[in-house]
Structure 1
């Protein structure tokens, strides 16, 4: 984790995500790229090309000026979190946010994204929302989505959901690497439903494989997966919950069927989305 990208519209949601990015940058000696995108207006065909260029230049200048006005507040936030030494580079791009993020990440070889979510729809927003869900699905680097209700108080415990598949180990290894940098613990959760194809031998193999790492495994029999995850977050004091992107489709189906009040009320920690 050396280059962290933080999309921003200078809102409280984005600033809250920046706090997490600053703290991670301090730990991993990373730099931050603040990416602000804007969309050019649709103009009529008779609009003269030279006038369109004037409009483009005007909008570009306006957005650069907006960034310039916001930078003192951003630097003040960094000082508050004792991160004034962190390099923060402002980036202004026109066009679609996701397209620009993919292009920027590829060009800069960025390796981590932190972005805010409004949290207005609770957990449902993580998996069915627009920009965050699109980023989780389409970007090829880890994406941490931070709800506006989250308050940074250290990251001491990371959660990770697994199906105990062999390819889950790569994602768990990423979480462990982050945890070691933070001097944190990892709590790995498997919700065992009645149609599970895993065996006690599988659980023991995983425990043995990670016996020298800061990982605790929790196998919880329950048919209500979303409620079990919520209870797990509360009982284990999870600060960040890590999940593989394959979970998105699963949760999308889950939320289309029902949204429990408990899930909505406890959506107050960041989700770290990893790719298979």
Structure 2
């Protein structure tokens, strides 16, 4: 059985992410692990903090409280089940949260991590500066980021934005798996910041090669001119009523690969979409 790891903090964003994961799990025949990490300083942090040694690193009362909240959340979703019941597990750990999440995912052999995020976070914040950014970087499996107000909808159109510098074929089969669950169209998208017949032909050929390697029956290719890459992705997702945005994570300088220069759009349309980050083969 496949495993979806859902790190939660009991916020609206976190609970909404679990709700989305639950819909996916029903279709994937997967189990969900509700996970909470109790922050525990690293050895270095403890060494640097002169007063740390006098403070207990673990509070049993807090741990019992969190355990109770996880059990309550698990019951809420079990009671809400209307279709095929999804098995729910709970897990609690101690450590530095940004390190604990990817490590726990590896221990559980998780197939997917689903995390929530607040609307105020733009795309750059998500993939470069946030807790989610560190998890994306260190995780051994795809990471799905769910905006706080993104209600689940059957996935009909998936936009896979690529810069054509090399595709993440270690995880890309997961994209076709998700698409296949819903009979969705995968729309491969490349943004040209400066268009020319030669560049367009090269991009079209590269996208065609990706489609052939993917071997998914319902995939289309799109080359769009837009001065700012993020704006181009945003407009394309909006115009085509996309249900999910997929980005390939580059181990080195991800943001520079996707968005050259210093352009930032704080509230891009696609930050309201579920965003799946997949990795290069490692």
TM-score range, shorter chain: 0.7 to 0.9
Q: TM-score, normalised by structure 2?
A: 0.82
Classify 1:126/1:101 alpha carbon distance in 2 versus 1 (closer, same or farther; 3 Å): same
Quick check: 1:273 aligned with 2:282?
Answer: no
CA drift at 1:11 = 1.3
Root-mean-square deviation (Å):
3.0
User: Which digits, 9 at most, give the CA deviation of each residue in 1:191-239, with x for residues without a partner?
Assistant: 1233859355445544555676210000112332111101110111111
Task: Give SS of 2:113's match.
Answer: strand
Quick check: 1:154 aligned with 2:154?
Answer: yes
Classify 1:70/1:132 alpha carbon distance in 2 versus 1 (closer, same or farther; 3 Å): same
CA drift at 1:153 = 1.7
The alignment of Structure 1 onto Structure 2 pairs a total of residues equal to: 267
User: In the aligned structure 1, how far is the partner of 2:60 from the partner of 2:163?
Assistant: 51
Quick check: 1:126 aligned with 2:132?
Answer: no
User: In the aligned structure 1, how far is the partner of 2:124 from the partner of 2:155?
Assistant: 23
User: In the aligned structure 1, how far is the partner of 2:163 from the partner of 2:258?
Assistant: 17
Quick check: 1:65 aligned with 2:65?
Answer: no
Other-structure match for 1:135: 135
CA drift at 1:66 = 2.7
Task: Give SS of 2:221's match.
Answer: strand
Quick check: 1:224 aligned with 2:228?
Answer: yes
The farther-off stretch of 194-203 and 137-146 is 194-203
User: In the aligned structure 2, how far is the partner of 1:253 from the partner of 1:163?
Assistant: 9
Task: Give SS of 1:177's match.
Answer: helix
Q: Is the 8 A contact 2:159 2:189 kept in 1?
A: yes
Structure 2: where are the runs of 5+ without partners? none
Quick check: 1:29 aligned with 2:34?
Answer: no
Quick check: 1:248 aligned with 2:254?
Answer: yes
The farther-off stretch of 88-97 and 243-252 is 243-252
User: In the aligned structure 2, how far is the partner of 1:131 from the partner of 1:46?
Assistant: 27
User: In the aligned structure 1, how far is the partner of 2:191 from the partner of 2:14?
Assistant: 33
